[in-house]
Amino acid sequence: MIFGVRHSVAVATTLGTLAAVIIAVFTWKGAQVTSETFLVTTYIGLFLGALWAMYATGLVVVYTTTGVFNFAQGAIGVFAAFFYWELHVNRGWHSILALFVVVGLFAPALGVVLDIVIMRRLRTASLVVQLMVTVAIMVLLLSVVGDIWEADTARRVPYLFGINNGIDLGPSQLPWHRLIVFVVAIAIAVAMRYLLRRTRIGTAMRAVVDNRELAALNGARPNVVSSTSWALGSMLGALGGILIAPELGLDPATLNNVVIIAFAAAAFGALKNLPMAVIGAMLIGLLRAHTVAWLDFGSDFRFAHLSIAPLLLLFVVIALPQARLEVGRLVHHLRRHERFTKWWEGLIGCGVIILLAVAFSGGWLDFGIWDPGAWGSRELNSANEAMALALIGLSLVPLIGWAGQINFAPLAFAGFGAFVYLKVIDGGWVTFLGLDRLGLDPQDIRDIDNGYWILLVGLLCAPLGALVALPAARLRGLYLALMTMAFAQAMSLIFFPNPWVMPIIGTGRQFPHIELFGVTFDDRRGFFLLLMCVFAVVVYALVLLRRSRYGRRWMAINDSQAAAATLGVPVVWTKVVVYALSAVIAGIAGVFWATVSGNVDSVQGFDLLIGFNIVLLVAAAGVSIPVAGIFLIFIPLFTGLGHRLEDSGNVDFLVTLLDIMTTYGPGMLVLGMVFNPRGAIFEMGRGFSPILPWRSDARAEIAAENAQKREPEIGELGIERPFTPEEVIAIDRRLGILDEVVPKEGYGTARS
Amino acid sequence: MSDETANPLLELVGIRAGYGTIDVLHGVDLRVMPGQVYALLGPNGAGKTTTLGVASGQIQPHAGSVLLDGHEVNGVSPDRLARAGVCLIPEGRGIFPNLTVAENLRMSTYAGVSYKQVQERAFAQFPRLQERRNQMAGTLSGGEQQMLAMSRALSTDPAILMLDELSMGLAPIIVEELYEQVASLAEAGLSILIVEQFAQAVLGVANEAAIMLHGRIQRTGPPAEIAEELTAAYLGMS
């Protein structure tokens, strides 16, 4: 400890400041700093900070009063902002009335509905399910916004009191709106602090998170209290969204991304401390304003100023001590009847996948319009994209499904793979490493079929996985989710937009067709076959891994790190391995993903929402089951089918249905996890077990459950009341003499 | 000795209850008279805590009825019963670990006593809590946590107090201190239902005792008699 500060925090802060200073020196614009410009920049920073503080306040309040970290907090704001626009601008309501309807009526109602329909059932769910469900709510809310308010019209939410009225500040003007936002943000933070610490309802909100039963024994109404919490959190989100919308414009994605800044601010207060969260928000606001004013990162790093929040989030999550995150939370473990896939079963399954792919690619199956073999290039493209995403999804199976390490950055790993691939097949490294002096020529590298390099690409991605694993080794649950999200966001803002990393989309394809065994997979059908084969091979490798020692270790650290460590499992090393493995799979998948269309949009292509969607779909399918990755097929497959139906002039109804399934399917699927957290594939396997000859285990399990339901409680053994014939049968069954003894009527019963 | 003409304050009649499909209580009858200290004794798994759960509204019985001061309260939620004066101090530190001592006390105000009074009474009984009023309850020692839990009983004027394994995991000297508080509450005329696995401490305070085994009450009687039979009951020789 130095002055009461932990070493890790002190070291990290020093290094961070040092790095910031060095970056600042090298990117200094050279603009003259006057006290006036400095002050104005500071005002802007404080104002931005106030906006984010409002979001952060909402997050902290929801987290402290419900125990759920709400990823949908920003999306609630987005919805509210659009709704406010609809009432105020589109329908001409007075701003105060519209504000009251949205923030005072709609938002609390939404909060209460969320609590009653979803959150109550999540109380005993695992953290993965909790996180996924709030992410799903976020995705769903954004889809609804996109559907109701289509992107084709330009919308603006006006400033309260107009942009031109305000206080004169010399070089610029401070509009009333911004002043109000600042005052409101601080007032809300103070009020919430007061509410949570100094009032009984606020105390009860926190008490319910700690121990619900005890709160009831004290006389608090737990359900009312948590509904109030959700209503309050929803109101704060809505107000934040409406006040921030005039500054950022009404774009769902932009508005939603604000929440990441709020995450960073909230992390400053260890997700529970309101004043610290507000200070964090102000700090980020000041950093952002002054960075934009004085520094120039050049076009290669044109989004660098946006990455301040994710970088700070990364930094804070890694550096801050993590006390008391898990206290008071009771997680009920599922009864797990896991059945290992035998090696030959996996082999058969993967063989079937490949056979289907061949049949599909060869166009041997004929189902008329539904026949994939008859698909055109557009549908095939969709299918190929789907398969590539499914491959990326597979990388999450060992990581999330087995080791329980949440990862929102599968796309960052995949993109890194694509980047490495490009550099490897280019051959430039031959000169760089000085191998040309040994007689090697970059052209030699380019002459080799590029497909062979994909394995090397996978291996080269492993260190990145290991790098992420190192901070991850001491993080758990929520902090891990935040860290990987910050990592993904930082990569997408700093690394990928760099033209040296992801070539700018030009006329031709930047990623060449894959060549393997002298064959160039330049035709979409062939490429699909290749993807299916790779998918099958990876699935099979995972099936074998699950049965291996490492598979057991991953499951062990998922169940209990402490217990695993006492058994001699090297926890850190086990985590490093699983991250590296995930990075290898994602990296290889990334190569195929980039090759589908030959280009990757370096900005849009790495949007956090896409990453969320991948994680969501795999989670909904059942993330511990390798074939779950194939669920990702659904989105592009439905899109493809939709195209096909449209092209053939088919009924609108089906097109609409498919459209709805594409838009809302993933979110709805994940909401399904509230009711069956083991995932769709698991339930499907159970559901179909009567007709699947090899699932005798599932049939036995179902039969046992049914028998338990039917069997009357034997309980008092006839002391208090006579046996009924059913009970006699039940006893006989338990004694194992059912077949021999035919129950006689009246046996042990007092005839009436 | 209870007066047969008075109405019992708490009465359980033919209670069958349990978790899921498994019954734990197979017909429990129990009466706590006004001013009585009733000790419910029995080994692990006998159903003592479940009995308290039923009496406090946390567990709904499958059969039988719960009567509070003559009114049937089956199906009434635990929070309503708590506000009506049923005070259950659950087993194993009935506190909120992430709330401060003072905030824990604020949670005791639902039964109608003001925050100021709750604090005054609690701090008068346990001065140590006053020193730690702004400390997180989860960081208190085991004994202090149990004092904090007990302070709800002391400060909220309950109609009936139910204590679940008050002595569990605590040093004998602290158990003694806590039972002194129970004794003074009993002297003041409060009806108390105490559940304990080990009987020494509780039998000094109780004026009625019962042995519970396998989900039903095996024997009721004066504490002195019950104490003699307890060992036999624990060894399964009842």
Q: What is the pLDDT of residues A375-407, one digit of tens each?
A: 667 777 777 887 888 888 889 888 888 888 888
Unique residue bearing structure tokens 């507000």 = A278
A222 and B CB contact within 8 Å: yes
The CA dihedral of A683, A686, A691, A692, to the nearest 10 degrees, is: 100
The Cα–Cα gap between A23 and A91 comes to 49
For the domain covering A378-678, report its CATH number. 1.10.3470
CB contact under 8 A, A206 and B98: yes
Mean pLDDT of all residues in A677-694: 67
What is the band of A337 on the pLDDT scale with cuts at 50, 70, 90? low
Reported for A525-529, long-range contacts at CB under 8 A and 24+ positions apart, including other chains, are A525/A361, A525/A363, A525/A380, A526/A361, A527/A384, A527/A595, A527/A596, A528/A357, A528/A360, A528/A361, A528/A380, A528/A383, A528/A384, A528/A387, A529/A357, A529/A358, A529/A360, A529/A361
**pLDDT digits over B115-151, tens only?**
999 999 999 989 999 999 999 998 998 889 989 999 9
Q: How many CA atoms lie within 13 A of A748 on its CB side?
A: 16
Q: Where are the alpha helices (DSSP H) in A86-168?
A: 95-99, 107-114, 120-122, 127-148
What residue spans define the domains of chain B?
Answer: 34-58+78-234
Q: Please report the sign of the dihedral spanned by the C-alpha atoms of residue A317, residue A322, residue A324, residue A326.
A: positive
pLDDT at B89: 92
Q: Which of A327, A393, A342, A400 is nearest to A677 (CA)?
A: A400
- In the predicted model, is pLDDT for residue B88 greater than 50? yes
Residue B115 has a CB neighbour count (10 Å cut-off) of 15
Q: CA nearest A219 in B: which residue?
A: B79
Residues A749, A745: Cα–Cα separation, whole Å = 8
Contact across the interface for A716 and B98, Cβ inside 8 Å: no
Q: Does residue A325 carry a pLDDT above 80? A: no
Q: Flag if A222 and B23 touch (Cβ within 8 Å).
A: no
- CB contact (8 A) between residue A200 and residue B96: no
Quickly count: other Cβ atoms within 10 Å of residue A62's Cβ. Answer: 28
Contact yes or no for A715 and B23 at CB 8 A: yes
pLDDT for A752: 37
Name which of A217, A223, A719, A720 to mutate to probe chain B: the one with the most chain B Cβ atoms within 10 A of its Cβ. A217
Q: What is the pLDDT of residues A273-293, one digit of tens each?
A: 889 899 999 999 998 888 888
- Token representation of residue A421: 């691939």
Q: What average pLDDT does this structure show over B92-120?
A: 90
Interface contact B99-A203, CB threshold 8 A: yes
pLDDT of residue A700: 73
A216 to B96: CB separation less than 8 angstroms, yes or no: no
Contact status of B42 with chain A (Cβ, < 8 Å):
no
Subunit contact B94:A220, Cβ cutoff 8 A: no
Compute the nearest-CA separation of A683 from chain B (Å): 23
- Between strands B191-196 and B71-72, the pairing is unpaired
- Contact residues, chain B, for A220 at CB < 8 Å: 79, 107, 110
SS3 for B87?
Answer: strand
Using the predicted structure, report yes or no on whether residue B106 has a pLDDT greater than 90. Answer: yes
Q: How far apart are the C-alpha atoms of A127 and A150, rounded to whole Å?
A: 34
Q: What is the mean pLDDT of residues A345-365?
A: 73
Phi-psi region at A158: left, alpha or beta (left = phi > 0; alpha = psi -120 to 50): beta
Q: Which residue of B has its CA nearest to A214?
A: B94
Q: How far apart are CA B111 and CA B117, in angstroms?
A: 12
pLDDT at A714 over 50: no
pLDDT in tens, A507-547: 677 788 888 887 778 777 788 888 888 988 998 898 889 88
Q: How far apart are CA A278 and CA A291, in angstroms?
A: 20
Joined tokens for residue A145: 């916004």
Provide the shortest C-alpha distance from residue A90 to chain B (in Å): 46
Chain B nearest C-alpha distance from A665 (Å) = 34
The Cα A235–Cα A195 span in angstroms is 15
Min distance A87 CA to chain B CA atoms (Å): 41
Find the mean pLDDT for residues B220-229.
84
What CATH number should be reported for the domain whose range is B34-58+78-234?
Answer: 3.40.50.300
Q: Which of A220, A327, A328 sits opposite B79 (nearest CB)?
A: A220
Mean pLDDT of chain A: 78
CA-based nearest residue to B83, from B152, B129, B22: B152
Please report the ipTM that was assigned to this predicted complex. 0.91
pTM over 0.95: no
Percent of chain B predicted with pLDDT > 90: 42
Q: Which residue has the tokens 């067709």?
A: A513
Spatial distance between the Cα atoms of A716 and A430, rounded to a whole number of angstroms: 82
Hey, are the CB atoms on B98 and A214 less than 8 Å from each other? no
Query: Taking 90 as the threshold, does the pLDDT of residue A366 lie above it?
Result: no
